[in-house]
Amino acid sequence: MLIAADGPADAIDEPDFAVPPAADDPVSGAQPYRADLRLFAAEEQAAAHVLRDSSKDWWPVVDAIFQPSTIYPSQLFLPQNSWRLLTQTTFPLVDSGARAGIKIQRRADVEQARAQLAGASIRAAAETRAARAAVASIERTVAAARAGADQARQVETITGISFRAGAATNIEVIDAQRIARDADAAVAITEDQLRRARLELLDALGRFP
């Protein structure tokens, strides 16, 4: 989205990055959504299917040839329209171990695809756990920043009342206001960090975009 304005621009609504609840198995929770895990799982299934079909390499091969023909003008001793159907069956007996080697290679492809899926699943689980830990840590930081901002606003209010009663100076009021604004800015910064952490968690789960 591109926004052009003469002055500062801000969004009215804040994005809501709803975080799904933590599953017992982070891998199974990310499996239906992460494209890389779906790709590796599909590659493993395809390799296993090819390996299961290795026995079909020993099946005979049947070739069929259909040859229609027509003669014009027709002749006396030959039919005008005729056709021939030829079949040839090839049954391999000895191949010097070629098919056995191909089967071993296919089995290695299955193991490689399975290892890739396992490695990707471990990485996805680690990314998910790290993202959830970051979200939980920043949530505690946001709560502490909000509590500090509330205390700073209370101090600002008390300092203002004391100034009007003659018990405080304007410098103390200015300091209290500055501290309150700094606390509010800290809250805004930590809330932005929380949104970023939730976005990274959704990305680790494969739920964004």
- Domain contains 175: yes
What pLDDT is stored for residue 173 in this prediction? Answer: 92
Quote the number of domains for the chain: 1
Higher pLDDT, 14 or 65: 65
Q: What is the pTM of this model?
A: 0.67
Report if residue 14 sits inside a domain.
Answer: no
Domain containing 170 equals 26-205
CATH code: domain of residue 93: 1.20.1600.10
Measured CA to CA in angstroms, residue 29 lies from 26, 32, 103 at distances of 5, 7, 34
**Mean pLDDT along residues 85-92:** 88
Instruction: Give a yes or no: residue 73 inside a domain.
Output: yes
To 5 degrees, how large is the angle CA 153–CA 157–CA 162? 145
* Mean pLDDT (whole number) for 94-106: 88
For 161, the 3-state DSSP assignment is helix
| pLDDT(189) > 60 | yes
Q: Cis omega before residue 209 (within 30°)?
A: yes
Residue 1 included in any domain:
no
What mean pLDDT is predicted for residues 73-98? 84
* pLDDT, position 209: 65
Q: Does 12 fall in a domain? A: no
Determine, yes or no, domain membership for 136: yes
Domain assignment present for residue 17? The answer is no
